[in-house]
Amino acid sequence: MFEAQEINAEHKDLIHDVAYDFYGERMATCSSDQYVKVWDQTSDGKWNLTSSWKAHSGSVWKVTWAHPEFGQVLATCSFDRTAAVWEELVGETPGPGERGTRHWVRRTNLVDSRTSVTDVKFGPRTQGLQLATCSADGIIRIYEAPDVMNLSQWTLQHEIQCKLSCSCLSWNPSLSKNHPLMLAVGSDDNNPSNGGKIFIYEYSDNIRRWMKTETISSVTEAVHDISFSPNLGRSFHLLAVATKDLRILSLSPIADNANVQSGLYKLDIQTAAQFDDHGCMVWRVCWNITGTILASSGDDGCVRMFKMNCINAWKPVAVLKGDGSHVANEGHRSSVCSAASLPTPPVAAVVSQTARYIKLGTISQSREVPWH
């Protein structure tokens, strides 16, 4: 846990997004002061500011890391109607006003949007170096770098029209060949009469187009953040949604209802859990690397964590204040969880017991580890 006050002090305005790299050892932040800052974690757990630069001419909404196999690469998006791709060069002399020995250079500036670019995400690494953006004009754009060694060249591969203003998006990280490429897009349109605010798009290899397969009508309030869970062998997908409350949706492909022409499947969408523990607007959601714990943050100034137990029921497990201190024995507000209509096994009575971990020993030499 980094010192929140130190991070806030380095930015001169509201921080909009924080992103960790693949290994969790580097962190990037962006804010309304138009700056992006990169932090490195030391061996003693401290976070040091290693790079800082003015990235855009407007508020920077989101920042995201590419997979490390493509190098140290960041993407940002801004109110100035652009998205940018940045690459780190190490060992070169930094310019005036820059800190440390690391230097970030803008490799490309994506200027196709006519309104604020509200989110940017790199695609699954198995698809090469792809980048998706969404904007307030309701258009989703997907770019690709044909040569991953030349990040100054990006081509616009797809342009998807959405009827509502787009606020956030998330790629489905599933690696299964049985699942087509999937994007979830959220809208912050405040008019409840416009219907559902979450749209699911799938890519058809047969017709080489992105198609909208689902509109999730159960979410009618403005969506601020959306995130697919990492999928480690599940036959269904989990989607976390930050809106006026926290929702976890289960998306199960219906195998016998495939579109023959497009090769896409319809989805059975159920609400796996719904929490109002924040008691206010929820702004961000984030999964751990195994997709078993979900963290959310809201206007109450707390980060709340939720976990699914062995009977597919979600429950709150921890609350952290903004300064990193733990909130113990807090009385939770209304929480609604469903077990996905599964029968309750006999072990349900012991699920609520608190797990304890006991230290059995210490490994001081790597040769003592039993490798398999």
SS3 content of the chain, % helix, strand, coil (to 5): 5, 45, 45
3-state secondary structure of 352: coil
In order, the DSSP letters of 247-315 are EEEEEEEEEEEE-TTT--EEEEEEEEEEE-TTSS-EEEEEE-TTSSEEEEEETTSEEEEEEE-TTS-EE
Burial 299-308 (b: 16+ CB within 10 A, else e): ebebbbebeb
Q: Per-residue pLDDT averaged across 108-114, rounded?
A: 97
Identity of the residue numbered 181: L
Residue 302's pLDDT is what? 94
The rounded distance, in Å, linking the Cα atoms of 265 and 85 is 33
* Residue 210 reports pLDDT greater than 80: yes
Residue 321's pLDDT is what? 86
Residue 85's pLDDT is what? 98
Mean per-residue pLDDT over the chain, rounded: 84
pTM: 0.83
Long-range contacts of 332-336 (CB under 8 A, 24+ apart): 332/277, 333/276, 333/277, 333/278, 333/279, 334/276, 335/273, 335/274, 335/275, 335/276, 335/277, 336/273, 336/274, 336/275
Q: Residue 32: which pLDDT band, with cuts at 50, 70 and 90?
A: very high
The string of pLDDT tens digits covering residues 234-286 is 889 999 999 999 999 999 988 765 555 566 778 999 999 999 999 999 999 99
Phi, psi of 68 (to 5 degrees): -65, -15
* Residue 97 reports pLDDT greater than 80: no
The rounded distance, in Å, linking the Cα atoms of 143 and 166 is 17
* Residue 370 reports pLDDT greater than 60: no
Q: Give the dihedral sign, CA 339/343/346/349.
A: positive
The rounded distance, in Å, linking the Cα atoms of 329 and 369 is 38
The Cβ of residue 216 has, within 10 Å, a number of other Cβ atoms equal to: 23
Residue 136's pLDDT is what? 95
- DSSP label at 354? P
The Cβ of residue 318 has, within 10 Å, a number of other Cβ atoms equal to: 16
Quote the domain boundaries for residue 71: 4-368
Identity of the residue numbered 321: K
- Which are the contacts of 106, defined by CB distance < 8 A and separation ≥ 6? 55, 84, 85, 86
The Cβ of residue 271 has, within 10 Å, a number of other Cβ atoms equal to: 17
Least confident of 73-87, 166-180, 324-338: 324-338
CA Rg value for the chain: 21
Q: What percentage of the chain exceeds 70 in pLDDT?
A: 78
Structure tokens at 142: 């997907």
Which of 330 and 186 is assigned the larger pLDDT? 186
3-state secondary structure of 56: coil
* Residue 58 reports pLDDT greater than 90: yes
The string of pLDDT tens digits covering residues 303-332 is 999 998 888 889 999 999 877 677 765 655
- The candidate with the shortest Cα–Cα distance to 223, out of 240, 236, 238, is 240
Q: Per-residue pLDDT averaged across 19-35, rounded?
A: 94
Domain containing residue 136: CATH number: 2.130.10.10
Count of the separate structural domains present in the chain = 1
Residue 100's pLDDT is what? 47
Cβ distance 205 to 171 under 8 Å?
A: no
Least confident of 65-74, 202-211, 256-265, 352-361: 352-361
Least confident of 58-67, 121-130, 155-164, 304-313: 304-313
